[in-house]
Chains A and B, each alone.
Chain A
Amino acid sequence: MTTTAETRTAPAAHAAKRRRPRTEALWGYAFIAPTGLGLAVFYLWPVLQTAYFSFTEWGAFGGHTWTGLDNYVRLLGDPEVGQAVLNTLLYTVLGLAGIPLAIVFAALLNRPGLGGVSVYRTAFFLPVVTMPVAVAMLWRWLYNGDYGLVNQVLAVVGIDGPNWIADPATAMYALVVVGVWSSVGYNLIIFLAGMQAIPRELYEAAAIDGAGRVRQFFRITLPMLSPTAFFISIVSVIGSLQLFDLVFVMTGSGQSARANPAYSRLQTVVQLFYERAFVTNDRGYAAAIVIALLVLIAALTIAQFRLQRKWVHYV
């Protein structure tokens, strides 16, 4: 049947092939047109505009004038920017601790024949689907120095807990805990999928060689998962560098957030961008800040690709 069909339509297909490229090409352009135009208008052109704005200064009532490199000079000498970059980097690096945690939980859940997996998975995933604004508000309450649940629990064992997010010494760590808490479920799902793709035979062979579960985990699971872990570390670094929602709500949004003693330790690059762009209307400077963010993200991503040779195993 197949052969007859092929022989029967061969000349027609041949003819179609000659004609196809032009109509096919037109259809190709037509199919990508909506997204292509949308991306051009709302994404690509804005990037160029932002780059242009970063060389301008904005007046109180609109209008902007070209000021050359002024914004970048100001940026380099602005201690607030330096501190925000440091804060953001610290959050990003500490946040990577969530990756091993997710691997461990995924390994526990991946145990053959374990009951209740879907219940656990749901519990871990709940923070992922919860609105970040709500998560931040909830944790702001849990972390309350006098009445928060965290310190009430600590008080039972005789510890007098700090004002977690108002104390410069603890604020960033408290924030990282929330970041990990709300993302561990997401990473866990991806690792779990990665683990399920590892061929069973590898484990069976290892078992025959007498390797126990722990050794199998280190000898097989971890190396096989390293590409997934690399992917997650790329995504999570990019995401962490753009942190906004959690800090915006936790410091108490608005100008009064500056009265939080830990504010200078919590302020992130994107939060600073928001303030300059949409609160003080200093949009030229805001554009320069966000260009700096782009450079930061690019640098860290390239660094990670360079480093991957040292630890990522591709089969």
Chain B
Amino acid sequence: MWKSVRSGAALLCAALLASACGGGEQAGTGAQPHEKVKLSYGVWDATQQAAMQELAAEFTKTHPDIAVDVQLTPWADYWTKLKAAVSGGAAPDVFWMNGPNFQLYASNGVIKPIEEQVDTSVYPKALVDLYTFEGKLYGLPKDMDTVGVWYNKTLFDAAKVEYPADDWTWTDFKQVAAKLTDAEKGVYAVGAQLTSFQEYQYNTIYQAGGYVISPDGKKSGYDDPRTIEGLRFWTDLIAAKQSPDLKTMTDTAPIQLFEAGKLAMYWGGSWDVAEFTKNDYTKDKVDVAPLPKGEKQATIIHGVANVMSAKTEHPAQAWEFVKFLGSKQAADILGKKGPIPAYNGAQNDWVAAHPELKLQTFLDAVAYAVPYPVSKNTAAWQEAELTHLTKAWTGEVPVDKAAADLAAGMNDLLAEE
């Protein structure tokens, strides 16, 4: 009792002291020239932390004057904390950036454009474009992901349906979907997931020849009839009961339905390899095929890039590090342990890790990949996408009407940017 009371009092004293002298700690890090420099490197994925530390160590071997401190912030908190750090002037020197957030940071001038001429042909063009803002490149792509159709071979066999061919089309997909659906057993062909546009709607929108946002980032594409076709692809599947309805998918998410053998197909990213090769149910039952072709062939490509803080005290060293992270040497290290490296030609180890799966599919898709659609304030219209399309997914509002409403709302948001 006494002890805890005392520690309570001690805490109070600590609180008062800290409030008196808080904020005095950040001073005094200005480094002398030719002295050892320590860079901080902000990342969010715990499963890649070891690989990042290995890269940091490798970099220090060739740059003995520069040490790198890898700072892990979990995804859930990464952007909140980064925003706080940026506004407090304490952002890491180098950090991971993603597509939806990039333009917000670039347009507010809190990340540094790359001044030196670099050869960007070694990365997928879509990713270079993703990290280019007003003609300036801000980050070097680190990794990449594309989307494919994961399918349950056992359910295909049971329905006596052939596995998807590499050149299959929307028509093939729809035929297969009808055959795979077995209402009696509670098995659906696919789950028309509403919440992951990267794996679902964006792909079919571009496959139908539509678009999400105009190239200048000023206009929504949701009132384009072809974009609406891309959405209708999914609402039709729900209407035909070849996909569970939205209520069912709210109660049990598509990935769990797939892992319980209730969905024959699951549109998912290359990052799902880790989960599906580990899960007891899926590990010996699944394989992957390319997305079916509509008007065009398309898959969304996205990837993380390494960027520099605009306020870094060591711009030269930070750039050296970013350049190293974008090199083939770094890509080779990354490919052995983590996601697909963005560096062309360094992806073979990733494919070789699971010879039982046709992982090459994800690399072949790069040829026709479309960049993840973004603008300066992507998060604002992503919320509108969910709010409006929920009504189309439930059937409460026809899909063309919901899309038109969304286009209007999104155009308003884009005008505010």
Contact = CB atoms under 8 A, between A and B. Distances in A.
Contact of A146 (B252, B380, B393, B396): B252
Given A61-B87, A259-B195, A166 B379 contact: no
A146 B250 contact: no
B248 A146 contact: yes
B383 interface: yes
A146 B246 CA distance: 13
A148 B19 CA distance: 50
Interface string A23-58: 000000000001000100100000000000000000
A144 B383 contact: no
A145 B245 CA distance: 11
A29 B252 CA distance: 57
A167 interface: yes
A189 B416 CA distance: 55
B80 A261 contact: no
Contacts, number: 77
B251 A146 contact: yes
A301 B385 CA distance: 39
A88 B386 CA distance: 22
Interface residues of A, number: 31
Interface stretch (A104-112, A222-230, A235-243, A250-258): A250-258
Tell me which of A140, A147, A162 has the highest count of chain B C-beta atoms within 10 A of its own C-beta. Answer: A147
B61 interface: no
A258 B87 contact: no
A258 B386 contact: yes
A8 B382 CA distance: 83
Nearest to B83: A61
Contact of B390 (A41, A145, A258): A258
B222 to A, nearest CB: 17
Interface in B1-22: 12, 19
B25 to A, nearest CB: 19
B247 interface: yes
Contacts of A166: 246-248, 250-251
Contacts of B80: 278, 281
A61 B110 contact: yes
Contacts of B390: 258-261, 263
B329 interface: no
Given A62-B87, A280-B379, A256 B195 contact: yes
B104 interface: yes
Given A60-B104, A256-B195, A281-B83, A145 B251 contact: yes
A60 B108 contact: yes
Contact of B88 (A62, A146, A163, A255): A62
B97 to A, nearest CB: 15
A167 B396 CA distance: 12
A212 to B, nearest CB: 48
A291 to B, nearest CB: 23
A11 interface: no
A246 to B, nearest CB: 16
Contacts of A278: 80
A155 to B, nearest CB: 13
B108 A144 contact: no
A146 B383 contact: no
A142 to B, nearest CB: 11
Interface in B66-92: 80, 83-84, 86-88
Nearest to B244: A146
Nearest to A281: B83
B141 to A, nearest CB: 24
Contacts of A146: 186, 248, 251-252
B194 interface: yes
Nearest to B91: A61
B394 interface: yes
A90 B252 CA distance: 27
Given A38-B12, A259-B386, A280-B379, A163 B87 contact: no
A262 B391 CA distance: 10
Contacts of B252: 144, 146-147
A34 B12 contact: yes
Interface in A41-93: 41, 60-63
Contact of B248 (A62, A140, A163, A165): A163
Contacts of B394: 261
A259 B194 contact: yes
Nearest to A254: B76
B171 interface: no
Contacts of A163: 247-248, 250-251
B175 interface: no
A261 B386 contact: no
A144 B394 CA distance: 17
A186 B282 CA distance: 45
Nearest to A261: B394
A259 B87 CA distance: 32
A82 to B, nearest CB: 15
A255 B383 contact: yes
B387 interface: yes
A62 to B, nearest CB: 3
Interface in B165-189: 186
A302 B104 CA distance: 46
A255 B382 CA distance: 9
Nearest to A167: B247
Contacts of B396: 261
A165 B246 CA distance: 12
A280 B378 CA distance: 11
A173 B147 CA distance: 39
Interface in B33-85: 80, 83-84
Interface in A255-292: 255-256, 258-263, 278, 280-281
Contacts of B383: 255, 258, 280
Lowest 4 CB-CB distances: which A-B pairs, in order? Answer: A62-B87, A163-B247, A166-B247, A166-B250
17 contacts: A34-B12, A61-B83, A61-B87, A62-B83, A62-B84, A144-B252, A146-B252, A147-B252, A163-B250, A166-B247, A167-B247, A259-B250, A261-B247, A261-B393, A263-B390, A280-B379, A280-B380
Interface of B: 12, 19, 80, 83-84, 86-88, 104, 108, 110, 186, 194-195, 246-248, 250-252, 379-380, 382-383, 386-387, 390, 393-394, 396
Given A165-B251, A166-B251, A259-B393, 19 more contacts: A61-B83, A61-B110, A62-B88, A146-B251, A146-B252, A163-B247, A163-B248, A163-B250, A163-B251, A166-B246, A166-B250, A255-B383, A259-B250, A259-B386, A259-B390, A260-B390, A261-B250, A262-B250, A280-B380
